[in-house]
């Protein structure tokens, strides 16, 4: 009896997600799984949906393994901004912030200021919808929720600390956890891994601050933990083979050494899977990525470690409304301004001459560790009530007026407030630097921060932009990586390292896949757009709009997106995606010939 299929993708160039050479194939899908990968056409009789993929690339759905969709997922589980770009699996609970154990107000205060999503939207949502305060309850919620893409999650260390210590003690440097409290944290982390969570996410960068009225401007609770606490929790992760996702002190970077040591097995203990944000070609320190990238690769070999930097394959361009941008937290004068909640308070500060001198000293201090390049000649105004300023840099305006750039910046913020919109590129400004990072074995291609910094960043389509970078290099006769290897880095490698059932497209796999038009991997991927956030009262955010590059997205064997339209049942009816528990059997490494060529 001839085989029948729910969906056939015919005549596409097939990538398996493991790095094998791409070949023309026909894909058959039935009951949510791939049941055929055929050299010859499949029988289409009785098949409800046939997708003609001639001239297209057919590959596993992309993984976005560093997002902050925790709140948006509750309100609008379709997560369309990721799905439209071929992402079929997302990871939440990043940077020590999850919405699992703590009370709604605590979760909101942990999340909203750090991730630049308004508290006025998140807190009412959590008060209305959050009915769990246990790990099992949260997993049950995810399993019942009508998910768009697949979801996997970390347990956030700040969430864990607040639940065990209470908010006030969790942000008191003198109030370290007692032995019973440490044991309770260990027990809860064990429960999290048992329930299928990936492991623990932490934060040691102190510029990430709390929202709310109770502990406003205190750093995230995870930053108050000492290494004794991290080591205790790492023992659980090491024993269970789970993951520590963290962030070093991004400004000083010194405690990277501690994360490297904790990851190491030294052939005496089990290595600890550790991934940190982030490896970039930073303008303020152009030699950094050349050092710490190879160092991590060398350390993994020498010390029997499993340490990975997260990396983006795109320029790290950020936008700001007035002074509302987290980079100003890295020095005292900026921190003092962001501590104030109202424009009236801030404007009074900005007019103070002593404050301006302080800001200029911070701005001009070349010896202070930094992430932001602190160059207003490299910051362009893109929106302003005074249209004559649009397109100019603050530095150029200062030169024309015979003023210091800091004075011009503060004057314009006082005059226009948040209506003064500007942008700058902090890192990944050189294509060769990005390529060097992507070739580094100790990197994971991720860190889009999807769902967060909604007015500051938009990297939802980073997988497509990586494919464009690789394809453009091939066309220019200067290849640095094969397309097959790039697909593996975006799919199979991430599924394997994170230990989830995603990233490959073989017979028996979940039918999570994307059909890409390579001819549409063009400048449209880099264009600026804004759109309202679904189910959040029309809240505007930056987005990507490269619809021409993705022709179809299947999640769980169902067509979630095709030719610019979403399935009307996505995020409404039973989930297209599922909660993916940690611990799938690891996929094989890519063929040696492919890896060596790349």
The answer to whether residue 132 is domain-embedded is yes
Say if residue 525's pLDDT is above 80: yes
pLDDT category of residue 598 using cuts at 50, 70 and 90? very low
The whole-number average pLDDT for the span 289-297 is: 95
Q: Give the max Cα distance, the chain.
A: 85
Based on the fold, state whether residues 153 and 239 are members of the same structural domain. Answer: yes
Q: What is the pLDDT of residues 229-245, one digit of tens each?
A: 999 999 999 999 999 99
- The pLDDT value recorded for residue 588 is 42
- Residue 378 binned pLDDT confidence (cut-offs 50, 70, 90): very high
Whether residue 262 is found in the same domain as residue 395: no
- For residues 469 and 413, membership in a common domain is answered with no
Question: What is the arithmetic mean of pLDDT over 111-132?
Answer: 96
Is residue 262 within 8 A of residue 310, CB to CB? The reply is: no
State whether 356 and 270 are in the same domain: no
pLDDT attached to residue 317: 97
497 and 352 inside one domain: no
Residue 310 has pLDDT above 50, yes or no: yes
pLDDT of residue 2: 67
- What span, in angstroms and rounded, lies between the C-alpha atoms of 325 and 308? 27
Scored b (16 or more CB within 10 A) or e, 262-276 reads bbbeeeeeebbbbbb
Looking at the structure, do residues 238 and 138 belong to the same domain, yes or no?
A: yes
Question: 497 pLDDT exceeds 80?
Answer: yes
Give yes or no for residue 127 having a pLDDT over 80: yes
Cα–Cα distance for residue pair 564/8, rounded to 1 Å: 19
pLDDT, tens digit, 9 for 90 and up, residues 320-363: 999 999 999 999 999 999 999 999 999 999 999 999 999 999 99
Q: Quick one: pLDDT at residue 587?
A: 42
Reply yes or no on whether the pLDDT at 150 is more than 80.
yes
pLDDT band (50, 70, 90) for residue 458:
very high
Structure confidence at residue 380 (pLDDT): 98
The rounded percent of the chain whose pLDDT value lies above 90 is: 93
pLDDT at 253 over 90: no
Asked if residue 341 and residue 285 are part of one domain, the reply reads no
Task: Verify that 163 and 260 share a domain, yes or no.
Answer: yes
Residue 597 has pLDDT above 60, yes or no: no
**Same domain, yes or no: 410 and 468:** no
In this structure, is the dihedral angle defined by the CA atoms of residues 222, 225, 231 and 232, taken in order, positive or negative?
negative
Q: Is the pLDDT of residue 535 over 90?
A: no
Q: Is residue 582 part of a domain?
A: no
Domain count, the chain: 2
Task: Work out the burial of residue 172: count CB atoms within 10 Å of its CB; fewer than 13 is exposed, 13-18 middle, 19 or more buried.
Answer: middle
> In whole angstroms, how large is the CA radius of gyration of the chain?
24
Summarize the confidence of residues 14-25 as an average pLDDT: 98
**Whole-angstrom Cα distance, residue 562 to residue 32?**
17
- Asked whether residue 54 is assigned to any structural domain, the reply reads no
Q: What is the mean pLDDT of residues 158-183?
A: 97
Strand partners, 565: 562
Region label for 421, one of left (φ > 0), alpha (ψ between -120 and 50) or beta (otherwise)? beta
Instruction: Identify the domain boundary among 397, 427, 457.
Output: 427
Q: Is the pLDDT of residue 75 over 80?
A: yes
Q: Are residues 247 and 374 in the same domain?
A: no
Q: How confident is the model at residue 586 (pLDDT cuts 50, 70, 90)?
A: very low
Between CA 434 and CA 559 the distance in angstroms is 33
Q: How far apart are alpha carbons 272 and 238 in whole angstroms? A: 5
Q: Which domain holds residue 369?
A: 318-427
Q: Which residue has the higher pLDDT, 592 or 168?
A: 168
360 lies in the same domain as 394? yes
Beta strands in 230-341 (DSSP E): 243-246, 273-277, 306-311, 316-321
Q: Are residues 218 and 69 in the same domain?
A: yes
Average predicted confidence (pLDDT) for the chain: 95
Mean pLDDT of 269-278: 97
pLDDT of residue 584: 62
Whole-angstrom distance, CA of residue 102 vs CA of residue 110:
10
CATH of the domain at 231: 3.20.20.140
Give the per-residue pLDDT at 1: 53
Other beta carbons within 10 angstroms of residue 448's beta carbon come to 26
Q: Round to whole Å and give the CA distance between 447 and 466.
A: 13
Do 112 and 70 form a contact (C-beta atoms < 8 A)? no
- Dihedral sign computed on CA atoms, order 68, 69, 75, 79: positive
pLDDT digits (tens, 9 = 90+) for 536-565: 888 999 999 988 999 999 999 999 999 999
């Amino acid at each position: 009896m001839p085989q029948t299929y729910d969906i056939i993708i015919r005549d596409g160039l097939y990538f398996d997600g493991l790095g094998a050479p791409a070949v023309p194939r026909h894909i058959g899908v039935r009951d949510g799984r791939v049941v055929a990968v055929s050299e010859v056409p499949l029988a289409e009789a009785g098949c409800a949906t046939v997708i003609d993929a001639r001239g297209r690339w057919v590959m596993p759905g992309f993984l976005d393994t560093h997002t902050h969709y925790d709140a948006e997922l509750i309100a609008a589980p379709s997560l369309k901004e990721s799905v439209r770009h071929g992402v079929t699996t997302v990871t939440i609970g990043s940077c020590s912030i999850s919405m699992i154990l703590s009370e709604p107000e605590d979760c909101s205060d942990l999340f909203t200021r750090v991730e630049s999503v308004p508290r006025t939207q998140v807190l009412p949502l959590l008060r209305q919808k959050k009915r769990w305060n246990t790990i099992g309850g949260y997993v049950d919620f995810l399993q019942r929720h009508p998910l768009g893409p697949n979801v996997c999650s970390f347990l956030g260390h700040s969430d864990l600390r607040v639940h065990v210590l209470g908010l006030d003690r969790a942000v008191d440097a003198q109030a370290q956890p007692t032995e019973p409290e440490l044991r309770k944290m260990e027990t809860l982390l064990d429960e999290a891994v048992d329930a299928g969570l990936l492991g623990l996410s932490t934060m040691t960068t102190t510029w990430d601050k709390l929202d709310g009225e109770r502990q406003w401007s205190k750093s995230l609770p995870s930053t108050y933990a000492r290494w004794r606490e991290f080591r205790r929790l790492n023992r659980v992760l090491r024993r269970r083979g789970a993951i520590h996702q963290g962030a070093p002190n991004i400004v000083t970077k010194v405690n990277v050494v501690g994360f490297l040591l904790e990851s190491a097995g030294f052939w005496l203990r089990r290595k600890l899977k550790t991934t940190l944000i982030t490896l970039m070609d930073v303008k303020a320190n152009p030699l950094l990525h050349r050092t710490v990238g190879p160092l991590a690769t060398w350390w993994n070999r020498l010390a029997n470690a499993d340490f990975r930097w997260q990396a983006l394959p795109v320029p790290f361009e950020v936008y700001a409304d007035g002074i509302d941008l987290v980079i100003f937290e890295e020095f005292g004068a900026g921190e003092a301004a962001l501590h104030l909640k109202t424009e009236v308070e801030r404007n009074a500060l900005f007019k103070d001459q002593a404050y301006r001198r302080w800001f200029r000293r911070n701005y001009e201090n070349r010896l202070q560790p930094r992430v932001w390049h602190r160059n207003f000649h490299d910051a362009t105004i893109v929106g302003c009530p005074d249209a004559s300023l649009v397109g100019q840099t603050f530095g150029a305006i200062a030169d024309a007026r015979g003023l210091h750039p800091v004075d011009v910046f503060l004057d314009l913020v006082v005059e226009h407030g948040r209506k003064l919109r500007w942008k700058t590129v902090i890192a990944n400004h050189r294509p060769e630097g990005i390529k060097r990072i992507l070739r580094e074995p100790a990197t994971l291609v991720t860190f889009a921060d999807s769902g967060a910094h909604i007015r500051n960043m938009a990297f939802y389509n980073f997988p497509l932009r990586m494919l464009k970078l690789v394809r453009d290099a091939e066309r220019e006769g200067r290849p640095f990586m094969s397309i097959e290897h790039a697909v593996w880095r975006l799919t199979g490698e991430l599924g394997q390292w994170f230990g989830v059932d995603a990233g490959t497209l073989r017979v028996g796999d979940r039918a999570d896949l994307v059909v890409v038009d390579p001819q549409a991997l063009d400048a449209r991927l880099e264009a600026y757009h804004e759109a309202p956030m679904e189910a959040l009262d029309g809240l505007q955010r930056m987005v990507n709009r490269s619809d021409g590059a993705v022709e179809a997205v299947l999640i769980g064997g169902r067509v979630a997106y095709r030719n610019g339209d979403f399935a009307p049942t996505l995020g409404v009816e039973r989930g297209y995606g599922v909660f993916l528990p940690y611990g799938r059997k690891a996929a094989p490494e890519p063929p040696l010939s492919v890896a060596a060529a790349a």
